[in-house]
Structure 1
Amino acid sequence: MHTKNLFENTEVAFSLKSDSELERAYFLFKMISSEPLVKIGTAATKFALNINLPVEGLIRSTVFDHFCGGVNEEDCMPVVEKMHEKGVCSVLDYSVEGKNLEMSFDIATDKVLRLTEFAENKEALPFSVFKPTGFGRLEVYRKVAEKEPLTDIERIEWEKIIERFDKVCQKCSETGVSLLIDAEESWIQNSVDDLILEMMRKYNKEKVVVYNTIQCYRWDRLDYLELVLQIASEEGFKLGFKIVRGAYLEKENKRAEEMGYKSPICSTKKATDENFNSIMSFMFDHPDVMTVFIGSHNEESCYLAMDLMQQKGIAKNDLRVWFGQLYGMSDHISFNLGLEGYNVSKYLPFGPVKDVMPYLIRRAEENTSVAGQTSRELNLIKREKERRKL
């Protein structure tokens, strides 16, 4: 068994950060750890951008450069290459939130196709990624999920959504780039799941090209996995899943309460953690059919994954297992795993500063609500600063 102190190595964790970047990270996490400051900061930022104050430079040199790779894919490459030298790959994530128009869905699809071509033959960029609501209206997904009849126009929209999914999956299949498809709210996820299963049937015959995302704060997801495992085993195709804890907690609970159904979300954080670990263990029990991308900032889950790999005799660099964290966070996990020879990818958001702000604001707000995450980051940065002084 490996020792439980792998993630304590701050020298490896922050090897890419200069002293000034380390100071900036310390300042940012210090800010983020205070809820009132986050509220004031996000309000002030939104206001400044809306009235076109010249704040982009300031945003770019602080929060943007810490959490994002650049304004376009070329701009990201120095960061991508530096991380790859340390054994960490990147997932270029165009983090501009789309508008609800057919034209913007086409633009988003073209963007993913272009990024997939951009990633082809680049070892540092093994994945492409998109969010289903970037390819179609939430309301259309909801009606399909809840088996409500579609209007003629909606039927055309749904056909277009299927077409966009297929185009991107095919491009990934041709270029050898794998595809991570993000999760959505539970009330539309069924239609997304069914559509992705179709894509897996078509494109995951030899190896996993298409990955769905399992949000483990949903208590019904292990049942879902057991069901699709049966289907895939019978029909002879492979399954890829990114597993995460989940992103829409307040929204999910609020809707369940308002509409009077049982919340699909685990009742406690502890239950979510246990569910995550059970789902991950289940996937490790079926490595011949299932490929797992462990999207986690939780050290215990990462240690458990390493233990499971060891128990099952799965090599560190076996492509059926990936670890992933967000850029700008949990470097102590990513870079130490990378150095050990595990497959690791950082989600690297990028896009024009102004357009990426909603994403950054969400990150800041999420960080304030995840107890312990920010203080852990601060603690590690502090230790690295002291180590460098010595």
Structure 2
Amino acid sequence: MKFIRQTLESFRFAWQSLRSNILRTTLSLLGVTVGIFAIIAVFTLVDSLERNIKDSLSFIGDKVLYVQKWPWTFDNDFQWWKYFQRPEPTYTEYKFLTERLENAQAVVAMDFKGRVTIKNGNNSMAALIQGTTLDYNRISDVPIEAGRYFTQQEIDVARNVTIIGSDVAENIFPAQDPIGKRFKINGLNFIVIGVQKKKGESILNVGGNPDIKCLIPYGAFAKMFHSITPSIDIVVKGYDSDEGLLELESEVRGLMRTRRGQRPLQEDNFAINRPEAAAQAISGIFSVLTVAGWVIGGFSILIGGFGIANIMFVSVKERTNIIGIQKSLGAKNYVILFQFLFEAILLSLVGGLAGILLVYLLTFIQLGTLELQLTAGNIILGLGVSSVIGVLSGIIPAFSASRLDPVIAIRAK
């Protein structure tokens, strides 16, 4: 009980000291404020970017392989002339893989056509049209808000039905329930069977903005847009383990080479792309940003830490006489040590809180499709770093104060 009372008294002394020297307190915490702001701002930006990109990648699937003409490369050595000569994947190859793949959960054929005019009476807009096969909802996120998904029969007979995005519903059917209603895509009538939940445009915009998208059966898409050069993306869904996905990739590669009649020493004339590769490449950028945040913030915190240490030495010098009186009245060494250590930690925490507050205010700034969010983890990190800086900056001045001889301290002027 006595220990708790003395500890609280030490905390009260520290608070009174900081209040009595407002200007000095403010100047000394600026370094910590700038440092914590730099670190937490970078962490908040990186976390927000990563979350946004993961949301984008959810629309191209998880544990999936894309069989395409062009590879997803992330270096400067992009030999486009070699890839340009490759044949496009075809619907026949999709059927071939569907019939023979043993390690796949789902195989999907799909293609896109952007800025296609859709109309309903006087209402019109430019939409993204995506033709796909039945298992598309197994490889990608299709959140249905109203209506339903495609049936096998609708896909097989290429019926003119569609699942529309939220912006399409709002612009083409204002103040109406679009389910069961007709509108024109590229001059042909389509019936709305479903409406997707509003998602919003992502920072990567992978697969296009789902809010302006019309999903239709692949057969209906091919009749409208594949009269000249039919080509598709083939997407293969694997199982949850990385080992299973590697086996599936080998199986897809073998079947595609067999289908295209390639010799053993010939290079693949197709690409097998994985969304995880894109995520890993982007993670490298995040790592650089994180290190940069620690370096920039670290220098500021270092300066702030020296500032707090300097202020604490001055504070010990100013209160030497009071320390002597306290010790002569029976105050233990740890009481004096806690008194100055609490002051340093409190000073650093105030600076850290100010930096976190600035980051919180930063989250209100509109950055297009990027929504900044200050997470609890980053707040705890900021307060934790501030506390550590307070301890490191105040421990030596606090220890020196606790070791003062009471007789000599009382005589100090």
- Smaller-chain TM-score bracket: under 0.3
More relative contact order in 1 or in 2 (CA 8 Å, sep 6+)? Answer: 2
| Bigger Rg, structure 1 or 2 | 2
